[in-house]
Every structure is written in structure tokens, then in C-alpha cells.
């Protein structure tokens, strides 16, 4: 792969990258070993490695519906067919759509996509690796999550656009287009490009805001209100919700306002006194918002933070007040090229 000489990878060890970890590709208990193996394999540069986490879906329940729904015209029980197909790589599945009509319907169904995502990725855990080259170019690879950290050449990661300002914002663990194993959202000046390398397909969606709604198996485009006159100005936000406990925040240069989408919002429950690391629950997206006050930087103590909520179904915004942060409870903020931030609240 010729990594060695050309790479001078800046280490982007930050929560931002962890927040990208939603590659969902099964889990890895051995993140450290995997990292070491990778380092050995490529000789010394410091990649940011995205270690996948296990995402469990209630597949069984969903698939009951699928089983009843399809007639595969085979002598074999449907359950077997579904099971076998859910273990095939995306490329094989693309071909299998042609086998017969019911297979196409099955493979295109949301239930099957979720099942495939779960089964295939659990059998073939992979890691998404992001590298920054000397020439300030970014590179993306997929490696198998094995001892040798084998390069996975069946999943080609080629940036779908040749845009200077392209940058990968997030990874989703859900098939937006077809079968998901890996989803990226790239951003250019005018458009978002949800992109699924497994099937080499990208979509182009104009800004401002888009997300994928599991219930309707569709994208939702939302824009947050920006009230210039109000004293409690909310930033104009582009919210990338990529269907997993991951939200990324964008800093809007023009408006000089922060817009925070949070990688791992933890939600404080007063009753139990417990912080929960949930971003999407009760059907709402949760993220941290910050009120920009002149002269107060966004990470200083006096800043006002709250958790904003957005109910996906009713499309209503809400706000949850956060408790005061103590001096040692500073938010951790990490920068990425002055544009991308992510936040982790103290435990």
C-alpha cells in the first residue's frame, strides 16, 4: 500500500475520532492490540484508528415479519435463505438481487438491511482507518479487525468527490442507501454527500440539514432556527445525525457561532443522579448547545450550555437545562482544523 514514506500523519487523537467510531462493525475488545498491530504493519505513523463498537439490533423480532412476508420459491425454509443471505458481503448481495423477484424485495427491505448489518459485520469485524497525508489529503481504509490488522481490499474507500473541502463528518452504522457497512457523510460547500462505500453509491443532498429517520427509512432535512435579534442567539446549525450515538458539531465560521452536535452527549437524570451516555432516545436527537456570549469562550466556566432535543417524529425542539459545571468539570473540547469540534461532558 506504500504508506511508509509519504505519510506524515498528524495524530488526531481526540474524542472526535472516537465519536466517529460508529462504524458499527461488530466490536473489538482488543482495541489496543489492534492499534499496535496497525502501527507495526504500517511503520510508525500515527493513524487515528476508529475502533468499532458493537451495536445490537433487535433483529429477531424484525425478521419474524420478513419471514412471513417473502416467498422464496425454494424448497428450503425461508429462514435459512434469509440467514444465509445476511452473511454475504455487499458485492455478492448486489448480484443476488437478480436471483429472483422475492430476493430483490428482501434485500431492499429495511429489516434485511439491519439484519445484514448486524450479522455480516459481526462475522467480519472491521475498522475504519483515517489517515492524513503530508499533502493535507485524507485517506480512508478499511482493515479487518484481526491480529494482523489485514487491509480489506474488498471495501474500497475512495472519496466520491474531488473537492478540496471534502471532509468526512461521520460514520453511520446503518444502511442509508442499501446495505450498510460503512457510511460516510462528506461535506462540500453546497451539499452533503451521504456515501456508502460498500455499494459505492453516494447521494447528494443540498444543505442545510439532513438526517436519516429509521422509522420511515428516509432522510429528514431540518434546519435549525437562527434568531439574530434574540439575546439568547442560537447558532445556525447544521446537524449531522448519523443514526448512532454520534453527533458531530459544526462551527459556523460566517456567523461566528458555535453549533454543537455532540459526539457523546451524556444526559443527566435527576431522579437517579446518573449520567447517561445517550444521544438518541425517546425518539429524540440530543445534543449540546452553547450560548455564545461575547467575551466568553465556549469552554470557559461561565458559558451557558444546555442539551437541545429534537423529536424526530413530531419535529419539535426542546431544551434540557444542565446542572452547573464545577471547576474540575470542564468540558473536554477537541479541535480539528478549527472547524470541527466535539464535546464530551464530564462523567
Partner 1 sequence: MSKKTLTLMSKDKQLFNIEEHLAVQSVTIRNMVKEDGASSVIPLPRVDSETLALVIEYLNRQQAPEEDEDYVKKFVDERGEIPTLLELAQAALDLDIKKLMDAACMKVADLIKDFTLEEVREALRIENDRTPEEEKAIRDEFQWAF
> Per CB under 8 A, does 271 bind partner 1?
no
- What is the contact mask toward partner 1 in residues 26 to 65, using x (rule: CB under 8 A)? ----------------------------------------
Q: CA 112 to CA 119: how far, in whole Å? A: 10
Among 12, 39, 41, 96, binds partner 1 (CB under 8 A): 96
> b/e for 190-219, b at 16 or more Cβ within 10 A?
eebbbbbbbbbebbebeeebbbbeeeeeeb
Q: What is the 3-state secondary structure (H, E, C) of 100-141?
A: CHHHHHHHHCHHHHHHHHHHHHHHCCEEEEEEECCCCCEEEE
Among 31, 41, 89, 224, binds partner 1 (CB under 8 A): 89
> DSSP state, 245?
S
Tell me the closest approach of the beta carbon of residue 89 to partner 1, in angstroms: 6
Q: CA 152 to CA 46: how far, in whole Å? A: 19
- Restricting to residues 99-118, name those near partner 1 by CB under 8 A: 99-101, 103-104
Give the residue with the Cβ less far from partner 1, 85 or 132.
85
- Residue pair 225/215 in contact (Cβ under 8 Å)? The answer is no
- Residue pair 148/45 in contact (Cβ under 8 Å)? The answer is no
Q: CA 34 to CA 129: how far, in whole Å? A: 11
- What is the contact mask toward partner 1 in residues 188 to 207, using x (rule: CB under 8 A)? -----------xxx------
> Per CB under 8 A, does 321 bind partner 1?
no
> Per CB under 8 A, does 253 bind partner 1?
no
User: If DSSP codes are grouped into helix, strand and coil, which group holds residue 306?
Assistant: strand
Among 11, 74, 165, 216, binds partner 1 (CB under 8 A): 74
Helices and strands (DSSP H and E) totals, the chain: 7, 21
Among 83, 216, 314, 321, binds partner 1 (CB under 8 A): 83
> Per CB under 8 A, does 85 bind partner 1?
yes
> Per CB under 8 A, does 67 bind partner 1?
no
Tell me the closest approach of the beta carbon of residue 98 to partner 1, in angstroms: 5
CA gyration radius, the chain: 21
DSSP string computed for 252-291: ETTTTEEE---SB--EEETTTTEEE--SEETTEEEEEEEE
> Per CB under 8 A, does 76 bind partner 1?
yes
> Per CB under 8 A, does 71 bind partner 1?
no
Give the residue with the Cβ less far from partner 1, 98 or 225.
98
Give the residue with the Cβ less far from partner 1, 100 or 167.
100
Give the binding site for partner 1 (CB under 8 A).
72-77, 79-81, 83-85, 87-89, 91-92, 94-101, 103-104, 123, 199-201
Amino acid at each position: 500500500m506504500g504508506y511508509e514514506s509519504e505519510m506524515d500523519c498528524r495524530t488526531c487523537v481526540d474524542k472526535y475520532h472516537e465519536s466517529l467510531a460508529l462504524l458499527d462493525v461488530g466490536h473489538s475488545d482488543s482495541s489496543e492490540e489492534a492499534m499496535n498491530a496497525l502501527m507495526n504493519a504500517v511503520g510508525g505513523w500515527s493513524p487515528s484508528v476508529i475502533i468499532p463498537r458493537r451495536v445490537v439490533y433487535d433483529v429477531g423480532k424484525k425478521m419474524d415479519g420478513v419471514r412471513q412476508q417473502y416467498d422464496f420459491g425454494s424448497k428450503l425454509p425461508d429462514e435459512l435463505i434469509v440467514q444465509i443471505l445476511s452473511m454475504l458481503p455487499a458485492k455478492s448481495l448486489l448480484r443476488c438481487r437478480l436471483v429472483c423477484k422475492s430476493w430483490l424485495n428482501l434485500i431492499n427491505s429495511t429489516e434485511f438491511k439491519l439484519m445484514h448489518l448486524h450479522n455480516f459485520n459481526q462475522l467480519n469485524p472491521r475498522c475504519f482507518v483515517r489517515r492524513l497525508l503530508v499533502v493535507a489529503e485524507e485517506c480512508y481504509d478499511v482493515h479487518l479487525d484481526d491480529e494482523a490488522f489485514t487491509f480489506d481490499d474488498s471495501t474500497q474507500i475512495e472519496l466520491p468527490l474531488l473537492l478540496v473541502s471534502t471532509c468526512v463528518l461521520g460514520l453511520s452504522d446503518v444502511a442509508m442507501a442499501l446495505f450498510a457497512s460503512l457510511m460516510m457523510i462528506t461535506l462540500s460547500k453546497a451539499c452533503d454527500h451521504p456515501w456508502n462505500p460498500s455499494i459505492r453509491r453516494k447521494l447528494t443532498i443540498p444543505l442545510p440539514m439532513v438526517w436519516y429517520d429509521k422509522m420511515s427509512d428516509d432522510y429528514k432535512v431540518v434546519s435549525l432556527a437562527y434568531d439574530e435579534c434574540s439575546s439568547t442567539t442560537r447558532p445556525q446549525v447544521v446537524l449531522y445525525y448519523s443514526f448512532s450515538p454520534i453527533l458531530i458539531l459544526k462551527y459556523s465560521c460566517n456567523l461566528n457561532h458555535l453549533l454543537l452536535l455532540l459526539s457523546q452527549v451524556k444526559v443527566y437524570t435527576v431522579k437517579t443522579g446518573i449520567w447517561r451516555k445517550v444521544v438518541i432516545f425517546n425518539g429524540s436527537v440530543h445534543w449540546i448547545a452553547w450560548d455564545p456570549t461575547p467575551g466568553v469562550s465556549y469552554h470557559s466556566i461561565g458559558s451557558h450550555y444546555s442539551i437541545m432535543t429534537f423529536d424526530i417524529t413530531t419535529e419539535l425542539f426542546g431544551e434540557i437545562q444542565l446542572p452547573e459545571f464545577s471547576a474540575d468539570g470542564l468540558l473536554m473540547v477537541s479541535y480539528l482544523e478549527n472547524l470541527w469540534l466535539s464535546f464530551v461532558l464530564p462523567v
